[in-house]
Amino acid sequence: MSTTAEAVPAKEQVAAALERIFGFKNFRPGQEEVVRAIMTGQDTLAVMPTGGGKSLCYQLPACLLPGTCIVVSPLIALMKDQVDAARSNGIRASFLNSSLSAGERNSVERDLVDGKLDLLYISPERFAIDAFTENLRQCSISFAAIDEAHCICAWGHDFRPDYLLLSSLKRKLPRIPVAAFTASANRTMRQDIVRQLVLHEPFLYCGSFNRENLFYEVEPKEDAERQILSFVEKYKGEPGIVYRMTREGVENTTEFLQREGISALPYHAGLDDAARSANQEAFSRDKADVVVATIAFGMGIDKSNIRYVVHGDLPRSLENYYQETGRAGRDGDPAHCFLLFNRGDLPRLHYFIDRMENEEIARQHRIALADMAAFAAQYICRRRTLLAHFGEILPGDNCGGCDVCTGSSETVDITREAQILLSAVFRTGERFGMNHVINVVRGADTRQIRSCGHHTIKTYGAGRDLPKRRWREIFEALLAEELCTVTVDAYPVVKLTKKALTVLFGDRTVSILQRTVPVRAVTAARYGGASNQLFEQLRTLRRQLAEERGVPPYVIFSDRTLHDMTGRLPSTPGAMLEVAGVGAVKLEQYGKRFLEVVLRYIDEHPDVVAERRSAPAGAVSPAAARKKRPGNSALETGKLAAQGLSLEKIAGERGCTRGTIVTHLETLFSHGHDYPIGQFIDEKLRDIIAGHFSRLGTTALRPVVEAAQGEFGYEEARLVRAWLQRQHGEGA
Please check the confidence at residue 409 and state whether its pLDDT lies above 90.
no
pLDDT in tens, 455-484: 999 999 999 999 888 898 888 888 878 899
As a whole number, the mean pLDDT across the chain is 83
- Banded model confidence at residue 625, pLDDT cuts 50, 70, 90: very low
Please check the confidence at residue 408 and state whether its pLDDT lies above 70.
no
pLDDT in tens, 476-497: 888 878 899 888 666 778 999 9
Q: Which of 73-87, 295-309, 377-391, 478-492 has the lowest mean pLDDT?
A: 295-309
Whole-model pTM over 0.85: no
**β-bridge pairing 494-496 and 335-341:** unpaired
Q: Percentage of residues in the chain with pLDDT exceeding 90?
A: 30
- Banded model confidence at residue 201, pLDDT cuts 50, 70, 90: very high
| pLDDT for 624 | 36
212-223: average pLDDT: 89
Q: Is residue 262 within 8 Å of residue 236, measured between CB atoms?
A: yes
| pLDDT for 702 | 66
What whole-number distance in Å separates Cα of residue 572 and Cα of residue 728? Answer: 36
Q: Is residue 382 within 8 Å of residue 402, measured between CB atoms?
A: yes
pLDDT in tens, 296-342: 555 446 688 899 999 999 998 898 899 899 889 888 788 999 999 98
What whole-number distance in Å separates Cα of residue 295 and Cα of residue 291? Answer: 11
What whole-number distance in Å separates Cα of residue 568 and Cα of residue 612? Answer: 6
Other beta carbons within 10 angstroms of residue 201's beta carbon come to 8
| pLDDT for 533 | 82
Q: Is residue 142 within 8 Å of residue 61, measured between CB atoms?
A: yes
- Banded model confidence at residue 620, pLDDT cuts 50, 70, 90: very low
What domains can you pick out in the chain, each with its CATH number? Answer: 5-206 (3.40.50.300), 214-407 (3.40.50.300), 410-515 (1.10.10.10), 525-605 (1.10.150.80), 620-732 (1.10.10.1390)
Encoded amino acid at 300, one letter = G
Please check the confidence at residue 447 and state whether its pLDDT lies above 60.
yes
pLDDT in tens, 362-371: 888 888 888 8
Task: Indicate if the alpha-carbon torsion angle 227, 263, 306, 365 is positive or negative.
Answer: positive
389-414: average pLDDT: 79
Q: Which backbone phi and psi does 605 adopt, to 5 degrees? A: -130, 70
Q: Is residue 548 within 8 Å of residue 511, measured between CB atoms?
A: no
